[in-house]
Amino acid sequence: MTSSDVITSLGTLLVSGADTRAFLQGQLSADVDTLTPAKAVLASCNSAQGRVQAVLCLVERSDGIALILPASVAQRTATRLRKYVLRSKVRIEAAAVASDLPEDHPYRAPGWQLAGIRAGLPQVYPETDERFVAQMLNLDLLGGVNFEKGCYTGQEIIARTHFRGAIKRRMFRFEGACAPPAPGTRILVGEQHAGDVVDAAATSAGCELLAVVNLAQQDAELKLESGAQLKKLPLPYSVAGLSG
């Protein structure tokens, strides 16, 4: 993947105006107050039912806060956020892809999609819109959800899921000797539906992917709908011992 591919694959929304931080604090799952010019913040934008509509990387800029996300969901995310602006002094517009991410952030790499998969960073695409809650995508393990901040859209469901320990599915990393499957592709154990592909990218050996699977079946013989077998790979953070 070339740098030009990154520009067309990633989109950026710029949120600006006097009420920017307060507005985003009431819309996103992370604590926006922890955002600084030197520290990007991971967050999700959710439906009122707590389902993830977009995974965002927030970057503070001199002209506002940039929200970096896949280009395929940028416009619908902007439309969704604008519905909640009301009287807030906030402007939401498309912008050039942010270039001021921390040096070690996966989105800076030309192969940003594979880098994100290896870092265990989820994405949401049109095919998986509102399919997962934040914890299924490990956003709570990645610092993308703050359970101490005030209310935000979808907060009640996300918090209830957390405090009741009701998570039955989590995101894991796999490899397969096949072309990258589309987001939302079903993962099977035998003929039983065990999970769904979150993101996938090509490698020299086939592909690597992130998928949300049932915790009870994470170490079973998993395969794609195409029949390609999957091998579980490690993530750079622990998901072990989580159940619900």
**What was the pLDDT predicted at 163?**
87
Please write the tens of the pLDDT for every residue from 133-181.
999 999 999 999 999 998 999 999 999 988 887 789 999 999 999 999 9
d(CA 128, CA 212): 11
Q: Which of 26-30, 56-60, 239-243 has the weakest average pLDDT?
A: 239-243
pTM beyond 0.75, yes or no: yes
Residue 163 tokens read as 């405090």
Q: In terms of DSSP bridges, do strands 169-176 and 230-233 run parallel, antiparallel, or are they unpaired?
A: antiparallel
Count the residues in the chain: 244
User: Is residue 6 predicted with pLDDT exceeding 60?
Assistant: no
Q: How many CB atoms lie within 10 A of CB 238?
A: 9
Domains assigned to the chain: 3-164 (3.30.1360.120), 169-233 (2.40.30.110)
Quickly state the pLDDT bin for 5 (edges 50, 70, 90): very low
